[in-house]
Structures are given as structure tokens and as C-alpha cells.
Structure 1
Amino acid sequence: MSKNKHLVLADRCVIEQGLNNRSSFKEIGALVGKDCTTISKEVRNHICFVKKGAPYRNFNDCVHRFHCHYSGDLCDECTRKQKKTCSLCGKCTSVCPDYVKEECSFLKKPPYVCNGCPKRNACTLEKHLYIAHDAQREYELVRSESRSGFNLTDQEKELLDLVFTPLLKNGQSIHHVMVNNADRIPRCLKTMYRYVDGGVLGARNIDLPRKVRFRPRKAISVPLKVDKACRVGRTYEDFKIYHFEHPELPIVELDSVEGVKGGAVLLTIHFVRQKFQLAFRRDANDSFSVIEIFNDLYEKLGKELYMQLFPVLLADNGSEFSNPTALEYGPDGELRSRVFYCNPSAPHEKGACENNHEFIRRVIPKGTDIGPYSQDQIDRMMNHINSYSRPELGNKPPYSLMEFYYGKALLEKFRFSVIAPNDIVLKPSLLNRHD
């Protein structure tokens, strides 16, 4: 298969030629190095609709065209010299009371277009054609529009405004605000300048005393919001070495479960050995909220128990985990955990956490807003999930193993309680109950 993710004009020309030759999607895919489903989607997404008749026959897609009884009496200003049946005209469909559009049944199945149809030159119906150059222009237009504007939802804008705008209006510079609130503003410095310059936030250029005096700067490359330096010594290879040297230390995997873009999210903390998972509701997917949760756990559990539970943390490359130092060191400045990162686009490296999300998605399906749910409702959901028997645990629930390892007192600190096997509910209706 081709390594290029996007089709180019040359590929589209091959597709058009293959359709003209009546080749199957599988045969065309082999020529351009793509899967047949890719070819099918490309053709269906870029169909050109052409209202063109046949040689010596005008365009007419009325189902009654072969037995039409009208003879030029529909149009008041018919310019045809010999007013014969309107079936030979095809221009009266907009005013004809009996007009019914006929659609070709062959267009409802592959290849969905008329390119290779043997009856094309004699057909007077609307043509569905795949034209390579037109498809390329449509693709470039969609690509350009998708990369323009601001990738910011209303919820994200509201949260940024709440933190960023008051500080800027107090006379602080954007750089000063970003440096001291990096965990609460998951954007880079350049992006925030663009938001202010574009009038997206409540703050404006007039709130920047020096900005209004300077000419617009030339575009320069901007580093990512997540500083890659934070992963030095914390890569997945470093994790494997550290785990080999300290096999007795339990692994805790971290991840986020999103509802709608820019809305509330869940921080999930998964204990691999016991398959026990915690979930904490957060209003925004920023590192500040993650750090707050772990600091609260540190205060609630105490230093000794916390270090026993969270000696090794394995997270993905999301911006919410971009401040490892704050996770590794407690408020007292002492080292409490070691943080490591999976490789980019490698969720299988913390597969235990990812697999357990399947239970959460049974209760909160993808695309469901998490904002309306409270932490009490999330705790109720996790009670049911952690009470669910697992064959890999000897048909015991994660709750039982967690109690065996650390005692029931720990689970009470997490406000967890066991649910009877026959009372477990893993449906969206669980969060609507009032137990």
C-alpha cells in the first residue's frame, strides 16, 4: 500500500481511467496502492452531477417522457417552432404537474457513477460522473477550509476566557500569563497571540500596550505546546529498563476519557495488577486539573500509602500529562513517583487501561457530554465496573483484589463500595438512577 495518506491528482486520473474501463474498486485500488474501500469513498465523495442528454436528444429525466401527452401547452413562451410532445424538449419539467424524476437503479450500487456505462451515450437522465480534475479541486478546497479559522469549541473558549482574559486586562503580558498558568492554558504562546489578534477571546489587541505600536511580524515556526524535553529520561524504553530493575513496584496507567470536544473529561487511574480503576471528573483537559487530583490524593492518603500505591506512573503524550515534575514531586518537594510516557500513537503500551475503558463506554458512549454528570455519579459507575467479575482474575472482581492487597480502609477513602453481582448495571441508565 502507498505510504501517502492522501490521494494525489495522478491517483485520481488512474481512478477515472479505471472507471471508464469498467474496472472494479479492488482492481483500481491495486493500481494506486490503496484499499478498495478508499477508492469507494473517493468516488462517492466526489461525484459530479451533469444534466446532459444524448446525441440529438435533449436532457429529460422525467419518468413519463416516453408517453408524455403534453404538446408544448405547458410553457407560455415556448420557442420551439414545431410544438410537438414535450418529451422531446425536456425544458418543461419545472412547470409540469406530472413531472417525476427517474433515477437509474444502477447508480445505487458500485461503481455509483456512469463513467463506464455502455448505455451512457443513449441515456437522457442526469449523469453521475467521476472527473479527476474536478475531484482534485474539491479535495483541495475542503482541505483548505478545514485548516482555516480557529480550532476552538465554545466550551474551550469559555474556559480560556475565564483564566486568560482577566489577567491580561490587569496589565500582564501574554508571556507572563502563559509562564505562570501553563497547566491551566493548554495552548502555545503563538496560539494565544492569534486568539487575541483574531478577537476570539474577551481580551483584544488594545489590552497589549506594545502590540498596537508594532507592525505584524512575519510568520515563524512555533514549538509544540507539549515540550518534548519533559520526556527526556521518561520514554517507554526508559520505563522498560526501570521496570526490569524494579519488578516489585506496581504500575499505574493514566489516561483521559473525553465526551465532547472541549467539554468535561475523566482522568482514569488504572492499577494494572488488580485491574482496578479510578475515574475523576474534570471540567477541562489540562495538566492543572490532573496535578490537583494527585495532590489531593497525596494529602488524603498520606506520603507512605501514596508512594506504595503510585510508585510508577505510565501516561500517554497528551498535554494534560505535560508537567511530569509536578506529578513526581509532592507539595513538600520530596520525590513520590516516577513518571514515564508511552511512544506516540502506541495505546497498546498501556493496553490494560485502554481495555478497561470499554466498561466506561458502555455507560458513557462516545460523543456523550460528561459535563452534566457529578463526581458522585462517576463514583457510582466505577463501583459497578470494579465489582464486575473478570475471568483473568479467577472470576473475582477488581474490588476484591484491591481489598486483598491494601485493605478495605483504603477503598473507603476512595468512597468505593462493592455491588452485588446481580445488581451490576453497565448501561447509560445507571447514571440516571437515584440510589
Structure 2
Amino acid sequence: MSRLIPGNQKHLTLDDRLYIERALNEGLSFKDISKFLCKDPTTISKEVRLHRIQNNWNRGSFNNPYNFCVHRFRCKKTNACDKIILCDTLCRSCHKCNTVCSRFEKEACRRLDKAPYVCNGCRKKRNLCSIPTKYDYNAHAAQRTYEQLRSDSRAGVNRTRSQMHGIDAIVTPLIQQGQSPYIILTNHPELDMSVKTLYNYIDQGYLLTRNIDLKRKARFKPRKCHKTQISNREIFQGRSYLDFLALDLPSSAFAEMDTVLSAKGSLKCILTMYFPDTQLFLAHLMNRCTPGAVRLVFEQLQRSLGGTYEFISVFPVLLTDRGKEFGDPDCLEIAPDGMQRTSIYYCDPMRSNQKGGIENIHTMLRMILPKGTVFESLTGWEIRKIVNHINSAPRANLNGKTPYELGLKKYGPDILRALQLKPIPPDDVTLSPKLLKK
């Protein structure tokens, strides 16, 4: 068995194709390209021949046609079209020459019939080349063709027509009897599919039954597509919720973080933090919901607390969701002086219960800022006012104490003063929109 070259079992990427294009322009052979990319030379050859683009040049004009015959320079033939009136003009200068001459032999380029199969790297200038059909390799065009082919190959149903008829013969009558897809698949394991797959078959019209025949699906609205999630999955390596659980931290050793968005009409948002052991709540107004705005809040907190070590003592570990505003963890974890000031971990997708404390405290925030509120006119002073009233409300699970009292006992007055927290008298605590009208 021959030894496998590292990486030769993977698809070519855009960077690989860009290198192939540059190497072809420099005149490198397929063997040299394959050594650099750790691929087989036949892979490079197939890639170039499959994705080369045909360009037709030198079409000429009616009065000045291009002649593509190999004999055009020495040919003295006249009247090849057999006109009744003899023509003294040489046929090689006529636009009909290539179509009517019996001795026509189209000129071809050996470069296109064997490696590299394209005009990339050819020393002959295009405007001096008489070959009518040229081929070029373009990395971006090749990548688009590859992605379209990959998408098309995965479309449709991976079953034969007879198999789909057999599935429909079982599913459709049972759906008409009022059974759900889960009941059908439980009683018919021979169908060998998941419940989600059967729902997809019905939704996409591969079966005779339709969504309207299902008991509950027709009553549900289509789910909204969340486009605010982090697209770069590499940052979750070592920062997933399982990695967070592996730390086995007590509730006093981490804080939860999230954002509250404004209604349409403002780009402002509120960055919130929550300490599970004391239920202390922090909030900061941001003009944009971006990683840069979150970083500015972190640096402001670090300056207020007095330095990196003080920041670590208050925020050693942060657990948050996968919103795009938290998509640059390295920038948030590393202080301007180069020291690591915190560690960030991410919950699983669509699992807000993994940080249920901060989601629960948001209900108190929404008592003052109901959904539909536009944050455009909000100020930092009003946010601090809201935070102080929330932290001054007693909690039953804290034995009637307030988060501010427990936070004062844990961190001391200096830290709370740096966080701009202060107590509110019990009878003055307001948890309604009236708070911002006073």
C-alpha cells in the first residue's frame, strides 16, 4: 500500500486555488504545485481542466477577418468559393476562407492539449496570439463552480423513486388517521429515518400528504432566522459549555454576561452582567452592539476598578451566549497591557437556560424597560439608576436580603463604589417604567 500524502484526502480550498493560479502564472509544473499543496499531481491536473474558462479572442471584423488556418502565411489560393466571376483576391484575406476552403486546417496550441492546459504563464502576448480559443484558470471562478457543484450534489432526496412510493404508502394513510410523524416512525422502524427527516419530506412535497394534514404544524408560525450568531466556529474550541463545566467552578467564581437589544429605531443596546452567588446585577449602555463596544466597556471597568488584577478578582470567568458582539474573545480576555484579565466561555446554541440567572434578571429589567422600548434617548445615568433599584430589591432565595447587601459583604465598599453602585431605600425602590419618569 502506498503511503498517503498528508492532506490529500481534503477538498481544495480557495487559498489552494489562489496558489494554483499564481503558480500557473509563474510557469510552475503540476508536480511542483502538488508538492506544495500535499496533493497528487493528477488532482491538480483535474482541477485545472475541470475549472478552466474558455475565452474567445481574435474574432476580427467583416472587412478585416482573422484567419485561423495553419497554411495562411504561404497559401496562394484564389477563388476557393468557386464564384462565377473569378476573384483575384487571395482567399486568406477573405472572411469566407475558413468555411469554404477544402485545405482548411485549424491552428491549435499544444499548450492547451497537454499540461498546463491553460494560457496562464504563456510568454506570448495575447494580442499577438492567433489561436482563436483560449483557456484561463481563475481561482475565484473555480471556487464558485466548486461550491455550486457541492450544493447541487447534496440537494434532493437520497432515495429512489420506489423507496419514496413505499414510504408514502405507509405515511399518508396514517397521517389521514390523525397519527403524528413520531407515532408513525415509532410503530414502523423499517422506514429508517428521523422525525425531522419525515417532517422535511412532507414540507418539501415529496409525499402526497401536506402540512395542512398535520394536526399542529399548520398553526405554528415559521421560526425566525437568527443572523446574529458567531459564524467563526474556531473560537469555540476550548471555550464551549462542556469546557466550562469541566472547570467545576462554584457560583462565586464566575459571572454571566448578555446583551439586551433596543426596539427598531435605535442601534443602542445594554451589556448586562450577573453574579449568581450574590445576584448582583450590572448594566452598561453601548452605542453599538459590536465587539469593539464590548471591549470599550471592559476597558472602562478595568480603569474604574484600578487595574488588571482588580478586574480579575471581580470577573475571573464569564459565561455568555454566541452573539456576534462576543465574537472576538481574545480582544476581551487580553488587557491593553498584555495580561489576561478574564476567561470567556460560550453556552450551546439555543440553550439560554445554561445561563438562566441573567435571563431571569432580565425580566426585572423589562419591568422598567418593556419590550418595544427604543433605547435612543436612554443615558448612562438612567441605566445606573435602573441597576441600583434592581439591586436594592430583596430576594426570597436570599432570605430577604438584597443583592447590594451581599455584594457589599463580598467585595467591600470600594469595589461597589468603583462599579457606581449604591443602595436605594426600601420604600423608594421602583420596578416599573415610572422610575424613568421621576
Per the normalisation by structure 1, the TM-score is 0.51
Pairing of 1:174-253 with structure 2 (within 5 A): 226-242=231-247, 244=248, 247=250, 250-253=253-256
Number of the residue aligned with 1:339: 344
Q: Deviations over 1:318-362 (max 9, x none)?
A: 011111111111110011111111111110111111110000011
Q: Deviations over 1:104-160 (max 9, x none)?
A: xxxxxxxxxxxxxxxxxxxxxxxxxxxxxxxxxxx9xxx9xx99xxx99xxxxxxxx
Q: Secondary structure of the residue that 1:371 maps to in structure 2?
A: helix
Number of the residue aligned with 2:355: 350
- In structure 2, what residue type is equivalent to 1:432? K
Whether contact under 8 Å (2:257, 2:274) holds in the other structure is: yes
Deviation at 1:304, TM superposition (A): 2.4
Q: Deviations over 1:72-130 (max 9, x none)?
A: xxxxxxxxxxxxxxxxxxxxxxxxxxxxxxxxxxxxxxxxxxxxxxxxxxxxxxxxxxx
Whether contact under 8 Å (2:301, 2:419) holds in the other structure is: no
1:382 aligns to 2:395 (yes or no): no
Q: Secondary structure of the residue that 2:331 maps to in structure 1?
A: helix
Pairing of 1:8-407 with structure 2 (within 5 A): 8-9=204-205, 28-29=214-215, 35=216, 38-40=217-219, 226-242=231-247, 244=248, 247=250, 250-261=253-264, 263-301=267-305, 302-407=307-412
Q: Deviations over 1:249-297 (max 9, x none)?
A: 6111110011224621100011111111111111111010001100111
Residue identity over aligned pairs, in percent, reads 30
In structure 2, relative to structure 1, the CA distance for the partners of 1:271 and 1:249 (3 Å cut) is closer
Provide the rounded CA distance (Å) in 1 between the counterparts of 2:271 and 2:239: 20
Deviation at 1:377, TM superposition (A): 0.5
Q: Secondary structure of the residue that 1:229 maps to in structure 2?
A: helix
Number of the residue aligned with 1:70: none
Per the normalisation by structure 2, the TM-score is 0.50
Whether contact under 8 Å (2:203, 2:210) holds in the other structure is: no
Structure 2 stretches lacking a partner, 5+ long: 1-181, 183-194
RMSD: 2.9
Provide the rounded CA distance (Å) in 1 between the counterparts of 2:206 and 2:237: 42
In structure 2, relative to structure 1, the CA distance for the partners of 1:237 and 1:385 (3 Å cut) is same
Provide the rounded CA distance (Å) in 2 between the counterparts of 1:394 and 1:358: 20
Q: Secondary structure of the residue that 1:266 maps to in structure 2?
A: strand
Q: Deviations over 1:202-242 (max 9, x none)?
A: xxxxxxxxxxxxxxxxxxxxxx8631111111111111112
1:412 aligns to 2:417 (yes or no): yes
Structure 1 stretches lacking a partner, 5+ long: 19-27, 30-34, 43-138, 153-185, 187-223
- In structure 1, what residue type is equivalent to 2:287? D
Q: Secondary structure of the residue that 1:360 maps to in structure 2?
A: helix
Q: Give the number of equivalent residue pairs.
A: 240
Provide the rounded CA distance (Å) in 1 between the counterparts of 2:250 and 2:295: 26
Deviation at 1:303, TM superposition (A): 2.3
- In structure 1, what residue type is equivalent to 2:338? G
In structure 2, relative to structure 1, the CA distance for the partners of 1:237 and 1:41 (3 Å cut) is closer
Deviation at 1:41, TM superposition (A): 5.8
In structure 2, relative to structure 1, the CA distance for the partners of 1:13 and 1:362 (3 Å cut) is same
Quick check: which has more Rg, 1 or 2? 2
Provide the rounded CA distance (Å) in 1 between the counterparts of 2:241 and 2:219: 39
